[in-house]
Amino acid sequence: MKKVLIGAVVVFVILEVLDIIIHSIILGSVYATMQDVWRPDMMQKMWVMHIVKIVVAFMFAFIFSKGYEGKGLMEGVRYGFYIGLMLSMGFAFGSYASFRIPHQLALQWFIFAMFEYIIAGVGVALVFGKKK
């Protein structure tokens, strides 16, 4: 359980840092042009996103631990790809189908989230290490 908790912290930090880079720096100017899409009080509700990220980080590490084979970094890349595909596809393109956002933004969300989850997979694989 110790590795799961350490892995969850690593994944949480990775997701937080990458989200700041992606959503504030890279996509910030895109978001600024779409004020009519967002909640007026969205920034006051960002704490919800942090709670979601804590749960996702724990579950990400926990599920990894259940299938852990000790094959090293590529195991983390593969795991991050699978989880990223499962979570990102529904979020990005489900949002596109539900809200007035450009298709290109949905595609960017999908690609960036895939990148995030692959990096998170590498992070959790580093925590668990390679079996000898």
| Confidence at residue 93, expressed as pLDDT on a 0 to 100 scale | 93
> What's this model's pTM, rounded to 2 decimal places?
0.89
- What does pLDDT average to over the chain? 92
**pLDDT, tens digit, 9 for 90 and up, residues 31-59:** 888 888 877 777 788 899 999 999 999 99
24 within 8 A of 121, measured Cβ to Cβ? no
If 0-12 CB within 10 Å is exposed, 13-18 middle and 19+ buried, where does residue 59 land?
A: middle
Question: CA-based angle 99:103:106, to the nearest 5?
Answer: 75
Between CA 113 and CA 101 the distance in angstroms is: 17
pLDDT one digit per residue (tens) for the chain, 132 residues = 899 999 999 999 999 999 999 999 999 999 888 888 877 777 788 899 999 999 999 999 999 999 888 888 999 999 999 999 999 999 999 999 988 889 999 999 999 999 999 999 999 999 998 877
3-class DSSP state of 48: helix
> What is the residue extent of each domain of the chain?
2-32+44-128
